[in-house]
Amino acid sequence: MPRQRTLAMLCAFALLALICVLFSAALGSATSSPGDALRALFDGDHPAHGVVLHLRMPRIAAGFTVGALLAVAGCLLQVLLRNPLAEPYVLGVSGGAAFAAMLALSFLADALFVTVACAMGAGASLCLLLLLTHREFSGRAPQGASERLLLAGVMLAALWGALIALGLSLVPGARLQPLIFWLMGDLGGASNIGVAGLILVAVLALALRDARALNLLARGEEHAFALGVSVGALKLRAVIFAALASGAAVSVAGTVGFVGLLAPHLARLALGNDQRVLLPASALFGGAFVVFCDTLARIVIAPQQLPVGAVTALLGAPLFLFLLRRVAGWSSN
């Protein structure tokens, strides 16, 4: 793709993210125009200054960070597993992080420890998936490997879901409802946004450093090895980066599904499969998508709020089924 067109598309993704942020800041129980919301943000005397600065902007920052983290994790998992349907929620990586977070919260751990627990849970889940399906993502994967890999991930997600359900049955009633709402994906009480933002910057920067090698890995391990890539070390880094990104996202907002599937695919349609541009474009689109979905979650039945994870699933699940039809070669006859 010509460099000018690539730059133009990246600018378009950035503009889309900015538009989503401005409209999210403007819409709510007290609706205003995007321009008025922007003025309220910087004008301390504006009547809506406190609402925009202290209520909406932290939630927008959390949503954008979560979406970008999940999109980057989705990109890395799709390259690592060479499967276009790989993403943290579907493969059970987010479920492992959520289970670890629930255990940490049951011991009243602070926000930083919850983030660490989420990363460890996501890493453990991803490593377990790789151990269970090592033939499915090897250089000589058998026929039907894509479907078996997805099935293993879905079953792993079901296992984490069952463990979470068992844990919830032991939670006292007073703490049960907010915990369930958080597990469904909630930005209302988001915390530790700064740590998640630092993880996003670090993971994206390190992944971009490996972008050329990831392009070669996407063509096959043997091809990458023949061109001088240390495949084992690269795959280990990809696992660590994906686990960190997934865990940080879950620690902020619970389990938000299908962002890691939707964002990379739409970015790939616009920019191709070069990880050097796909990673930042996916991060921009993923962040914008979660901010958009959270805006819908806040205003659809206002003043009540929906969990953002439910909205992303409503939009992402049909796309997943469409892509699964294409990848698995389902027939409409």
pLDDT digits (tens, 9 = 90+) for 315-329: 888 877 777 676 555
State percent of the chain over pLDDT 90.
Answer: 45
Is position 86 within any domain? Answer: yes
- What is the Cα–Cα distance from 125 to 65, expressed in whole angstroms? 22
Given a cut of 70, is residue 240 above it in pLDDT? yes
Given a cut of 70, is residue 87 above it in pLDDT? yes
Contacts of 45 (CB under 8 A, 6+ apart): none
Phi, psi of 179, deg, nearest 5: -70, -40
Which of these ranges, 23-37, 79-93, 212-226, has the smallest mean pLDDT? 23-37
Is position 158 within any domain? Answer: yes
The DSSP output letter for 257 is: -
Neighbours of 154 (CB within 10 A): 13
Is position 277 within any domain? Answer: yes
Domain around 120: 65-326
- Per residue in 159-192, is it b (16+ CB within 10 Å) or e — as a string? bbbebbeebeeeeeeeeeeebebbbbbbbbebbb
- What is the Cα–Cα distance from 28 to 314, expressed in whole angstroms? 21
Half-sphere exposure of 256 (CA within 13 A, CB side): 43
Neighbours of 303 (CB within 10 A): 8
Q: Which two tokens stand for residue 93?
A: 């990586």
Contacts of 271 (CB under 8 A, 6+ apart): 1, 6, 9, 10, 277, 278, 281
Is position 41 within any domain? Answer: no
Q: Which two tokens stand for residue 237?
A: 């880094």
**What CATH number is attached to the domain comprising 77?**
1.10.3470.10
Whether 129 and 91 have beta carbons less than 8 Å apart is answered as: yes
Q: Which two tokens stand for residue 198?
A: 């630092």
Q: What is the pTM of this model?
A: 0.90
- What is the Cα–Cα distance from 245 to 76, expressed in whole angstroms? 10
3-state helix, strand, coil in the chain (%, to 5): 75, 0, 25
183-236 confidence digits (pLDDT tens): 888 887 777 788 999 999 999 999 999 999 999 998 888 888 898 899 889 989
pLDDT score for 331 = 40
Longest CA span, the chain: 65
pLDDT score for 65 = 97
116-175 confidence digits (pLDDT tens): 899 999 999 999 988 887 765 554 544 455 667 778 888 999 999 999 999 888 877 777
Count up the domains in the chain and report the number. 1
Average pLDDT of the chain? 86
| pLDDT tier at 330, thresholds 50, 70, 90 | very low
Nearest to 289 by CA among 256, 320, 318, 321: 256
Amino acid making up residue 177: Q
Is position 34 within any domain? Answer: no
Which of these ranges, 33-37, 58-62, 63-67, 196-200, has the smallest mean pLDDT? 33-37
Rounded to 5°, the CA angle 196-207-66 comes to 30
